[in-house]
Structure 1
Amino acid sequence: MRYIQGENRSQTALFPVSMDELIPDDHLVRVIDAYVALLDFEQLGFDKAKPKATGRPSYDPADLVKLYLYGYFQRIRSSRRLEAECQRHVEVMWLLGRLAPDFKTIADFRRDNSAAFVATCRAFVRFCRQAGLIAGELVAIDGSKFQAAASGSKHLTLKTLQAREAKLDKRIARYLAQLDEADREEDAEPIDRSAVQVALAKLQVEKANNQTCQVLMQAQDLTQHVVGEPDAQKMRGPYVALVAYNVQSAVDAKHCLIVHHEVTKDCSDNRQLEPMAKAVKDELEQSTLCVVADAGYSNGTQFQACEDAAITAFVPPNRSTNAASDGEQYFDRKDFGYNKDTDQYQCPAGKLLNPKYLNNSGRVYKASIRDCKGCLLKSRCTKGEHRSLMRHAHEEAFERMEQRMKAHPEMMCYRRSTVEHPFANLKHWIFGNSRFLLRQLKGARAEMALATHAYNLKRAIQVLGGRKLMALMG
């Protein structure tokens, strides 16, 4: 039995197959081509959206946007690999009309149009909303660390600089000792003085640069600095600390489409609830909004700000517990009753705690030393002379949040099933557990906008299908 045979490469055809016949009607590249045809590149802010009347013609921004959308959809982010795809892949040849821009042109376009890529991503979100793919009834917010382009070895702190300076001092002292020993002992083994002096000069220059860096960091009140990418920060990841950016994502619960995203330098999430929720509310053009997030977003000030903006948030309050250093658990804040009229707390023994002073977070209440001294419950309350308690400036917002979470415990299940899926796709499908290719916030935002756009496009195709999606675009 013979194998299935292919065509003879030298066989000629009377009717050559056109490139259009090689691409199925519902193929990804046809969807991308139909979508890009809807965009107003001048309004979105793309460079060279208007061709010049004189000089060498430039590439149409529409063609390069098509190339990048296709590339990120297919996990191809490198400009050199995209250049190769233009010359070898029939799908890309069809999409660009057999144009083959070089890698420098491709890379420069992404670098110079960061804000325009973000605007294009938001334009697709608006299209999805008009197509009924986004309901806006419940939005889940979460953050994840994405590794920056800079290496972890470029991360500096005052502590590491001081430790490096101490090592340099030891090496310099060792070279100086060698020179002194050679001067004292006539019959000592001869050394190459010129080589030692050259090495010593290099170490002294390195020490001077180290001290200059310390002075600059102290003058600018910096706790850390990444050489070559100062926008990046060292952040605690799931396993190790990384030089990274904190990417915030807001995902609609209907079809897990990313409604809004932001690349930030904040190492934690507890100041991101209000800005993300407000951005989603403006994006969806709704008067009210319901959002859910994990305990990392617990912040009384943010809770109150969301309520003031007609945003109903569901976040597990993350409050500190009254535990001693030896692990013993004392009476918690919940064991003390608060009287709003008198602005006093009552302890489990019936004694009163009065307001004493204000700090950055709220008001501190203290019991009298006399009341605590003879209290039978003191061993279960505090090791100090008297018990103190802090009431957060937005304590009532915390209490309302606790009541909402008790009434709707299912919200955390909705959160997990909504927002974890997009981040897994972004990290493993598009980025491939790799880092950003572009440096600084501007570059990271351009890449994340393209990745988010590719993810939303993939979800839209899976939900509606290529043909229906193109029909809506038409």
Structure 2
Amino acid sequence: MLPQYAREVLGEGHLACFFVEVRKALDFSPILKAYTQERGQPPYHPVMMTLLLMYAYARGITSSREIERRCETDIAFRYLTGGERPDHDTVCTFRVRHLEAFRALFVDTLRLARSSGLKKLGHLAVDGSKWKANASKHKAMSYGRMEEAMKKLDEQIDRLLQEAEALDAEEDKRYGKGQRGDELPEEMKDPNKRAERLRQAARQLEAEKKLELAVEKEKRREKIGKAKEDLEKEAREKAEARGDDPEKARPSEKAQRNFTDPDSRIMPRAGAFQQSYNAQVAADADTQLIVAQEVGQSTSDARQLAPMVEQVEANTGLLPVELSADTGYLSQQDVEKVEDKGVECFVATGRSKHGEEAPPAPRGRPPAGLSFKERMKRKILTKRGRKAYARRKVTAEPVIGQVKNTVLPRFSLRGLTKVQGEFSLACAVHNLKKLWKLGWELPSLAAQAA
């Protein structure tokens, strides 16, 4: 039975109790405004459903069916829901409905952090990670194979339709047009004739199965055709952006599309290639709070630095003193744009080999005539540069590991827009867990407004 005083059983320091207190501090209006009127049976309260989702993600539970089971068996889940038991369809529908609001919820965790104690940003670490999509790489096809696959499917569809037509013609010839062939006259009692009728009915079923199979293959052909058109459209858009003739553009033979999640891409991950998205994170070194995040389709981190810093400023109203990032972010245009804001950048210019001894720190003024990359390399090698860059390894990398291992091991949803919403939810949950562990007092909305 559910204890009368569940909070006493859990203890005041329990994460579930913290999330109940969060309801007084977070702004849930982006979610609440979606409910303008009641229709039929009153729905579960949106704030309760949001807290349930956030707590489930905080426990690394993203399956709507597992969330439903926990609402029946786990005292912390039952405490959060007040004994309510939303089914998995309700949980899934709620999550998909409010994906856009989850981004606003993520930004609101930063407002809450600023009200609780985040007064400045010292060191900012930016990093990216390939996040596994809810799709198998075996459900993907390269552009070079699409034309051949469509031709084979056309041949198979034609053959199946011809075979079905031949079976129908044979049945029409034998029984007459419009007759199924399995109408048994009342006087027909002979078992031998009855067996023949059953064999004829089986042939008719075979013709119907061939038609059904032809329809399935036609649907697959349409999917391949759509993927082929998307790749060609993407190639034309890239050519136009480069200033080339879009009509002459052609996708790479190795360019792929996945039929389960067409927005995901094949990316190198954990020593193998998997269907993934590229998640970007900017974290504050002192608190390990995520202050900016994004999900994209590019395997590269290039040209992501300036947009992340701009998002940090928009989300928090603050700019860091300094920033560190790995070599994937090295772009003169981006670095100069960020440093124009007064943020000093420490971006690696290459990857050092494991066990390789670092060269001695340079002294004196930089020589004249150094290129942008040479100047950055020299700055990273200085004692101050090494100290600043070392903070990246104990900031961004652990944060990404914490989100990936304890909140969102892989995306549950499919499609770029949906995974962006789900990642916003995961980052909001990460920030709330950090506030819980830091022990910061959460001011109420009224106190924050005052």
Q: Say whether the fold is shared (TM-score over 0.5).
A: yes
Q: What is the deviation of 1:229?
A: 2.3
Count of aligned pairs between the two proteins? 363
Contact 2:267 2:276 in 1 (8 A): yes
Contact 2:115 2:443 in 1 (8 A): no
Shift in alpha-carbon separation, 1:47–1:105, aligned structure 2, 3 A: farther
Contact 1:256 1:422 in 2 (8 A): yes
Q: Measure, in 2, the Cα distance between the counterparts of 1:19 and 1:318.
A: 54
Asked if 1:404 corresponds to 2:379, the answer is: yes
Contact 1:149 1:438 in 2 (8 A): yes
Asked if 1:218 corresponds to 2:190, the answer is: no
Q: Measure, in 2, the Cα distance between the counterparts of 1:211 and 1:463.
A: 53
Structure 1 gaps of 5+ residues are 1-8, 10-15, 176-191, 320-337, 341-394
Shift in alpha-carbon separation, 1:41–1:103, aligned structure 2, 3 A: same
Q: Partner residue of 1:28?
A: 15
Contact 1:281 1:289 in 2 (8 A): no
Q: Measure, in 2, the Cα distance between the counterparts of 1:216 and 1:470.
A: 48
Asked if 1:78 corresponds to 2:63, the answer is: yes
Q: Partner residue of 1:113?
A: 98
Root-mean-square deviation (CA), in Å? Answer: 3.6
Shift in alpha-carbon separation, 1:286–1:216, aligned structure 2, 3 A: closer
Q: String of CA shifts for 1:68-123, please: whole Å, max 9, x gaps.
A: 11101111111111112222222222222212222111111110111111111211
Contact 1:144 1:246 in 2 (8 A): yes
Q: String of CA shifts for 1:425-450, please: whole Å, max 9, x gaps.
A: 12222234xx3111112221222122
Between the two structures, name the one with larger relative contact order (CA 8 Å, sep ≥ 6).
Answer: 2
Q: Partner residue of 2:323?
A: 291
- Counterpart amino acid of residue 107 in structure 1: C
Q: Measure, in 2, the Cα distance between the counterparts of 1:286 and 1:72.
A: 28
Q: Partner residue of 1:239?
A: 271
Asked if 1:428 corresponds to 2:400, the answer is: no
TM-score normalised by length of structure 1: 0.67
- Counterpart amino acid of residue 31 in structure 1: F
Q: What is the deviation of 1:415?
A: 0.7
**Aligned 1:161-310 pairs, distance under 5 A:** 161-162=146-147, 164=149, 209=222, 214=228, 217-221=231-235, 223-286=255-318, 289-310=321-342
- Counterpart amino acid of residue 114 in structure 1: L
Q: Measure, in 1, the Cα distance between the counterparts of 2:21 and 2:307.
A: 33
Q: Measure, in 1, the Cα distance between the counterparts of 2:126 and 2:368.
A: 35
TM-score normalised by length of structure 2: 0.70
Asked if 1:417 corresponds to 2:394, the answer is: yes
Contact 1:277 1:291 in 2 (8 A): no
Q: Partner residue of 1:469?
A: 441
Shift in alpha-carbon separation, 1:52–1:158, aligned structure 2, 3 A: same
Judging by fraction of residues, say which structure has more helix.
2
Q: String of CA shifts for 1:356-393, please: whole Å, max 9, x gaps.
A: xxxxxxxxxxxxxxxxxxxxxxxxxxxxxxxxxxxxxx
Q: Partner residue of 1:64?
A: 49
Contact 2:122 2:320 in 1 (8 A): no
Q: Measure, in 2, the Cα distance between the counterparts of 1:61 and 1:462.
A: 26
Structure 2 residue matching 1:46: 3-state secondary structure: helix
**Aligned 1:295-334 pairs, distance under 5 A:** 295-318=327-350
Q: Measure, in 2, the Cα distance between the counterparts of 1:225 and 1:214.
A: 8
Q: String of CA shifts for 1:317-370, please: whole Å, max 9, x gaps.
A: 249xxxxxxxxxxxxxxxxxx998xxxxxxxxxxxxxxxxxxxxxxxxxxxxxx
Q: Partner residue of 2:420?
A: 445
- Counterpart amino acid of residue 98 in structure 1: G
Q: Measure, in 2, the Cα distance between the counterparts of 1:456 and 1:427.
A: 14
Percentage identity across paired residues of the two chains: 29
Q: Measure, in 1, the Cα distance between the counterparts of 2:217 and 2:425.
A: 46
Q: Measure, in 2, the Cα distance between the counterparts of 1:203 and 1:85.
A: 38
Q: What is the deviation of 1:456?
A: 1.9
- Counterpart amino acid of residue 128 in structure 1: A
- Equivalent residue for 1:123, pick from 89, 92, 108: 108
Q: Measure, in 2, the Cα distance between the counterparts of 1:171 and 1:441.
A: 34
Q: Partner residue of 1:158?
A: 143
- Counterpart amino acid of residue 270 in structure 1: A
Structure 1 residue matching 2:65: 3-state secondary structure: helix
Q: What is the deviation of 1:63?
A: 0.3
Q: Partner residue of 1:98?
A: 83
- Counterpart amino acid of residue 256 in structure 2: Q
Asked if 1:18 corresponds to 2:50, the answer is: no
Structure 2 gaps of 5+ residues are 161-202, 236-250, 352-366
Q: Measure, in 2, the Cα distance between the counterparts of 1:73 and 1:208.
A: 41
Q: Measure, in 2, the Cα distance between the counterparts of 1:316 and 1:415.
A: 11
Q: Partner residue of 1:138?
A: 123
- Counterpart amino acid of residue 445 in structure 1: Q
